[in-house]
């Protein structure tokens, strides 16, 4: 029997999106282990962007070094990343979601979005979304149904693949309470280990944890937020305001470790040139810079600092070089990333952005 009409949050997640797009282009790959990552060469340093379900059955997952993935599945088809193709497919999916009756769509990435809708049959609406996406794009999706963003997002995992699942305040503890805190959207391994140090191991324990303890351990904002996450509570508002990037970044994994300071500085300048080209298109000042470094074999550190708002390329480059100076000398560098944070549009209205010059 249908419910009374009420607001719902649906989380739409495309199943094995990147691999599925590749199979659409190459139908002969259907049912085979497909891995997408880097330039498609497992002898190079790169990581898996996605893997088909057939490859996942062998333990291959996103973020895994491509060479290890190839070792796990010797007969896998390994393909290079084709971002323009995935962007085009994603745009078709999002247009389909926006065309659904009464839908408010908040895009989260290439392969997922929240859909806000008022309906008396959320499961029926979810099936309608799945049919529409499949008809227009030939892609399958799973749908999480919830009364908050958090519950809808977590519900999707129980609907995969090609199904739907409802997770609300009524069944949250029954479904999620016994699960480890890493099952929650927004809790990774590092946070989970810190919670475990305070004897918080499960979702239910997090939801009932002492708020003062969490605030002391994680800060006055994040501590209570983690407790709220454990309850599945939070906003139920799907916001379709166009996303505005806070910054732009580029990174590269070197096929051979860099050690010489001159080589590292040159790599940073080349990355920064691309980043600043991206920033120019935004028309907003740079207000912060960051450097991501990964030392061999796999220790990653991030260096950041704020700067006075500027449009001057030389000033931004000088600030990046200050961060480069903090890289440990004579230590082999596997990866380098450069990021520029930009003033947000609200800052410009408040008069915080300087007159453009120097680009």
Instruction: Please state, in angstroms and rounded to a whole number, the distance separating the CA atoms of residues 214 and 41.
Output: 45
Report, as an integer, the average pLDDT of 280-301.
92
> Is there a contact between 152 and 164 (Cβ–Cβ < 8 Å)?
no
Half-sphere exposure of 81 (CA within 13 A, CB side): 12
Q: What is the pLDDT of residues 250-263, one digit of tens each?
A: 999 999 999 999 99
Active site residue 174: no
Q: What is the mean pLDDT of the chain?
A: 93
Phi, psi values for residue 35, rounded to 5°: -125, 135
User: With left for phi above 0 and alpha for psi between -120 and 50, is residue 268 left, alpha or beta?
Assistant: alpha
pLDDT of residue 210: 95
pLDDT band for 347, please (50, 70, 90 cuts): low
Q: What is the pLDDT of residues 222-260, one digit of tens each?
A: 999 999 999 999 999 999 988 778 899 999 999 999 999
pLDDT band for 346, please (50, 70, 90 cuts): low
What is the b/e burial string over 67-100, where b = at least 16 CB atoms within 10 angstroms of the residue's CB?
A: eebbebbeebbbbebeeeebeebbeebbebbeeb
> Is there a contact between 155 and 165 (Cβ–Cβ < 8 Å)?
yes
Instruction: Please state, in angstroms and rounded to a whole number, the distance separating the CA atoms of residues 177 and 202.
Output: 7
Report, as an integer, the average pLDDT of 162-179.
97
pLDDT of residue 355: 41
Going 347 to 353 to 356 to 359, the CA torsion angle's sign is: negative
- Reading the block at residue 140, the tokens are 């399958």
Q: Decide which of 145 and 347 is more confident.
A: 145
**Could you give all domains of the chain from N- to C-terminal order, each with its CATH number?**
1-166 (3.30.70.270), 172-231 (1.10.150.20), 247-349 (3.30.1490.100)
Q: What is the pLDDT of residues 68-115, one digit of tens each?
A: 999 999 999 999 999 999 999 999 999 999 999 999 999 999 999 999
Distances (CA, A) of 3 to 118, 119, 177: 11, 8, 25
Nearest to 314 by CA among 357, 352, 267: 357
pLDDT of residue 4: 86
User: For residue 166, is pLDDT > 90?
Assistant: yes
> Is there a contact between 196 and 202 (Cβ–Cβ < 8 Å)?
no
Which residues lie closer than 8 Å to 240 by C-beta, 6 or more apart?
104, 105, 106
> Is there a contact between 163 and 123 (Cβ–Cβ < 8 Å)?
no
Helix axes 211-218, 222-231, angle to 10 degrees: 130
pTM of the model: 0.81
**Given 54, 85, 92, 112, which residue is catalytic?**
112
């Amino acid at each position: 029997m249908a419910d009374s009409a009420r607001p719902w949050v649906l989380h739409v997640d495309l199943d094995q999106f990147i691999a599925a797009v590749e199979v659409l282009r190459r139908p002969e790959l259907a049912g085979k282990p497909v891995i997408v990552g880097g330039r498609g060469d497992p002898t190079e340093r790169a990581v898996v962007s996605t893997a088909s379900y057939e490859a996942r059955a062998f333990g291959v997952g996103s973020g895994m070094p491509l060479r290890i993935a190839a070792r796990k599945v010797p007969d896998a088809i390994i393909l290079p990343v084709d971002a323009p193709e995935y962007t085009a497919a994603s745009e078709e999916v999002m247009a389909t979601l926006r065309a659904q009756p009464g839908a408010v769509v908040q895009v989260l990435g290439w392969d997922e979005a929240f859909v806000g809708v008022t309906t008396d049959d959320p499961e029926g609406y979810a099936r309608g979304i799945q049919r529409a996406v499949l008809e227009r794009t030939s892609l399958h999706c799973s749908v999480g149904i919830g009364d908050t963003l958090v519950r809808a997002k977590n519900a999707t995992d129980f609907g995969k693949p090609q199904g739907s699942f409802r997770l609300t305040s009524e069944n949250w503890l029954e479904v999620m309470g016994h699960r480890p805190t890493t099952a929650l959207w927004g809790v990774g391994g590092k946070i989970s280990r810190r919670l475990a140090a305070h004897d918080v191991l499960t979702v239910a324990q997090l939801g009932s944890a002492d708020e003062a303890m969490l605030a002391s351990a994680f800060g006055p904002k994040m501590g209570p937020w983690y407790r709220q996450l454990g309850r599945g509570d939070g906003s139920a508002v799907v916001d379709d305001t166009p996303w505005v990037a806070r910054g732009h970044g580029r990174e590269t994994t070197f096929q051979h470790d860099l050690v010489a300071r001159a080589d590292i500085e040159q790599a940073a300048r080349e990355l920064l040139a691309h980043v600043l080209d991206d920033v120019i298109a935004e028309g907003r000042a740079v207000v912060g810079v960051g450097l991501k470094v990964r030392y061999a074999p796999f220790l990653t550190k991030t260096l950041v600092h704020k700067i006075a708002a500027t449009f001057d390329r030389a000033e931004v480059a000088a600030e990046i070089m200050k961060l480069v100076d903090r890289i440990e000398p004579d230590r082999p560098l596997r990866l380098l990333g450069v990021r520029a944070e930009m003033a947000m549009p609200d800052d410009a209205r408040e008069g915080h952005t300087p007159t453009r010059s120097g680009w």
